Amino acid sequence: MVTDVQQACFEAGIKFGSLYHQFAGTPVSPRSARSLERAMAEAIENQPYCESVVVRIDDDAVREAIDHENGYTELTGRLMEVEMRVGYADTSVQTRMEMEDGYPLMKLVDVADGDADADGDANASDE
């Protein structure tokens, strides 16, 4: 009833929601951005089927968001770009979070059914 490709997309979504809601609100400054990027990536890479995570915190956006003298702000989707690759069975899913129309969007960029490709079955009939 549920295909591997559907399961792969579901897993990709879980990783994105996890990353966002685990780390949103973290105090961040340009000084601490590198360690946070790395910890976010490595934490989520622990999760099942998660093949790679890249987090880029935008130091300029962070600086602009620092609106008080304390010199830090809280992490939100506006301050970072995220790329993630999830693999489930023969399916590889590429996702990305980036700003669109002034709002951070989590996007399903590509869903590749490796099995179908291997078969030369371009129209991916099981999907």
Among 63, 64, 71, 114, contact with a copy of itself (rule: CB under 8 A): 71
63's CB contacts (< 8 A; 6+ apart) are 30
DSSP code string of 12-57: HHHHHHHHHHHHTT-EE-HHHHHHHHHHHHHHHHTSTTEEEEEEEE
The answer to the question of residue 54 lying near a copy of itself (CB under 8 A) is no
Our finding on whether 120 is near a copy of itself (CB under 8 A) is no
117 in contact with a copy of itself (CB under 8 A): no
Residue number with CB closer to a copy of itself (3 or 120): 3
122 binds a copy of itself (CB under 8 A): no
Q: Which of 85, 102, 115, 122 binds a copy of itself (CB under 8 A)?
A: 102
33 and 70 Cβ atoms separated by less than 8 Å: no
Asked if residue 63 binds a copy of itself (CB under 8 A), the reply is: no
CB of 14 closer than 8 Å to CB of 46: no
52, 54, 63, 110: which one binds a copy of itself (CB under 8 A) = 110
Residue 65 touches a copy of itself, criterion: CB under 8 A: no
**Closest alpha carbon to 111 in 12, 1, 2:** 12
